[in-house]
Amino acid sequence: MKLHILAFGVHPDDVELGCSGTLLAAIEEGKKVGIVDLTRGELGTRGTAETRKQEAARAAEILGVQVRENLGMADGFFQNDETNLRKVITAIRKYKPDIILANAVEDRHPDHGRSAKLVADAAFLCGLRKIETSVDGVAQEPWKPSYVFHYIQDRFIAPSFVVDITKHFDKKMESVLAYTTQFYNPDATNDEPQTYISSNQFLETVKARALMLGKRIGVSYAEGYLSEKTIGVNSFDAFIQQIT
């Protein structure tokens, strides 16, 4: 399956928090979009690997992505090594995305930065024909994505560019709230311990970040990205904002 955009998250819910509004906007434009989670989030204080799998499936349904899969790396302990690079290379060659979205390059959770480097390295290596990978015994062809962009997560990073998600913000938050074990839910009846992300205040910071980034381009809500590659345009029309 050829995808236009493939979004990687080291934990289920990273993509929803960081770039799901952008994915919704792309899907509305007719683009094919997929999600790959690196780990099952099994070290999370709340929930289990199985409940997070169910929540990820529900979030994928809300977003309307073409595919979602999990590479089963070790939460908290995965390394940027050959074994994991080959897993990501295989996924990229499988879906042939033009654009990859990946975790923040530096963040509160150490897994985020390691994931960012792992995915970026794999995106480069998957274009090398002498690296051989296969799926179900069938050799894969090399593939080189055009761009790797890193979404902003907990810590603020000045973005290279931002994407207007105003039309899609409510559905973005609906996908986040699909993770009922992880985030604030006044109707939940569980006695699990409170965490950094389980309070209503955390969800308010997600909204505040989107408001702040949107304000920078004169829209209500936006998501921000970091690009290590210079972005070019072939027309000044690319800069025109349709503000309503």
Question: Which is more confident, 200 or 97?
Answer: 97
The residue behind tokens 């290596």 is 125
- Cβ atoms 184, 178 nearer than 8 A: no
pLDDT digits (tens, 9 = 90+) for 57-77: 999 999 999 999 999 999 999
* Predicted local confidence at residue 50, as pLDDT: 96
CATH superfamily for 5-227 is LmbE-like (3.40.50.10320)
Band (pLDDT 50/70/90 cuts) for residue 243 is low
Amino acid at the residue 218? G
Q: Average pLDDT for residues 76-98, to the nearest whole number?
A: 98
Global confidence as pTM: 0.95
Q: What is the 3-state secondary structure (H, E, C) of the chain?
A: CCCCEEEEECCCCHHHHHHHHHHHHHHHCCCCEEEEEEECCCCCCCCCHHHHHHHHHHHHHHHCCCEEEEEEECCCCCCCCHHHHHHHHHHHHHHCCCEEEECCCCCCCHHHHHHHHHHHHHHHHCCCCCCCCEECCEECCCCCCCEEEEECCCCCCCCCEEEECHHHHHHHHHHHCCCCCCCCCCCCCCCCCCCCCCCHHHHHHHHHHHHHHHHCCCCCCEEEEEECCCCCCCCHHHHCCCCC
| Percentage of residues in the chain having pLDDT higher than 70 | 96
| pLDDT over 80 (residue 212) | yes
Confidence of residue 242 (pLDDT cuts 50, 70, 90): low
User: pLDDT band at residue 175, thresholds of 50, 70 and 90?
Assistant: very high
Annotated domain spans of the chain: 5-227
pLDDT given for residue 241 in this prediction: 65
Per-residue model confidence (pLDDT) at position 184: 85
